[in-house]
Amino acid sequence: MLNQNKKIVSIIAHLAAWACFFALPYLVFFPRMLDSQFTMSNHLIATIICNNVFLVLFYYFNTQFLIPKLLMKEKWGIYIFSIISLLLIFLFLPKYIAGLIASPEIHPLIDTNNSKVPSHPRGRRRGTIDAYNIAIFFLVFTVGTCIAVIQRWLITEENRKETESQRVNTELSFLKSQINPHFFFNTLNNIYSLAIIRSEKTAPAVMKLSYIMRYILTETTQDLVPLQNEVDFVNNYIELQQVRLTDKTKIIFNASGDIENKLIAPLIFIPFVENAFKYGISTKLDSTIEIKLDALENKIVFEVSNYIIPSENNMLENTGIGINNVKRRLELMYPGKHILTHTILENHYYVHLEIQLI
């Protein structure tokens, strides 16, 4: 139904454009022809009709056939030859057909009182008419070519944007699918360690994991989710991690601002939180993980800091899957609208993320 309405509107627009186009020359160049005291000869009427019909046919032949078949395929020579040939045909064929329909008369314009209208010499008058026809022909050619080229450029640009959008969506889906296994792999390792020692914390940990799984399976299919949901998700993750922590580790998580009325891409913050737990906790050394989230009017500020617990070889054993993943998602979801910095200072790791809201 919508396509049918578009076609009807398009037909009406074309008819109105042609009506204005054919009326304009007589209103501007030959206003006396609209005077009720003047009448046109049958031959002139036939010539005008033939010219107009030819121009309409030329316009659609050029836009629907010559441009897509020749111009768009860079067949410049054949296209130029076709236009010149059609111009020559236009200068002679309509007049010839008009002569067959109505015999030429001595005076093309005769007033109602049968008084002759002064005319120019035959050769000069024919040259003026030919020049006018050439100008009209190239006007139709120029307008038609410009409209057709612009329309095809818009279609190409729309297809390009659609293709790019599909590519981005596909990549985002792939990145999300990477997050889930990576996240569950780390979490299940933690629960496995609890099960090995037959800890009474194992059952609560499994229940907390089920809440997290439900969120990932139901919410993360959307492009944007409420910020409050992400805050709750981080809270659940922290509580899940705390079942295996000792008193040596202190966790601080503060969320402030207008959290309930903002949307954010799902699973944007959790890789940084995971990273802090992976490298910032110890059963022997005191450590603190501090997480802050501030929902301002036009942006969200997220910060994580943790003490870097030295490993056996004093190196960070970091595969980088989660961090690289979220960096790419930020580039796709918030291009030019986010700032991400991560620094190491005095054996502390700091992450600062600012997201400008769309």
Residue 227 has pLDDT above 90, yes or no: yes
Q: Where are the domains of the chain?
A: 2-162, 174-356
Q: How far is the first Cα of the chain from the last one, in angstroms, to the nearest whole number?
A: 34
- What pLDDT, on the 0 to 100 scale, is given for residue 352? 95
| Of 142-151, 186-195, 285-294, minimum mean pLDDT range | 186-195
If you search the block for the tokens 């074309």, which residue do you land on? 14
Instruction: Indicate the range of 85-99, 165-179, 279-293, 332-346 predicted with least confidence.
Output: 165-179
Highest-confidence range of 1-10, 11-20, 273-282, by mean pLDDT? 273-282
| Cβ contacts of 222 within 8 Å, gap of 6 or more | 266
pLDDT tens digits for range 297-338: 899 999 999 988 876 444 444 445 567 778 888 888 888 899
SS3 264: strand
Tell whether the model's pLDDT for residue 228 goes beyond 60. yes
CA distances from 86 to 58, 97, 137, 173 (A): 8, 15, 9, 54
**DSSP conformational letter for 65:** I
State residue 115's pLDDT score.
43
Tell me what pLDDT residue 251 has.
Answer: 92
pLDDT category at 33 given cuts 50, 70, 90 is: low
Between 102 and 349, residue with greater pLDDT = 349
Statement: residue 110 has pLDDT above 50: no
CATH class of 174-356: alpha beta
Q: Tell me: the pLDDT tens digits for 250-259?
A: 999 999 999 9
Tell me if 329 sits within 8 A of 223, measured CB to CB: no
316 vs 129: CA distance, rounded Å = 86
0.75 surpassed by pTM: no
Predicted confidence band of residue 169 (pLDDT cuts 50, 70, 90): low
Mean pLDDT of 9-16: 75
pLDDT at site 319: 45
| Distance separating alpha carbons of residues 195 and 184, to the nearest angstrom | 16
Binning pLDDT at 50, 70 and 90, where does residue 231 land? very high
Which residue has better confidence, 342 or 205?
342
pLDDT above 90: residue 294: yes
Band (214; pLDDT cuts 50, 70, 90)? confident
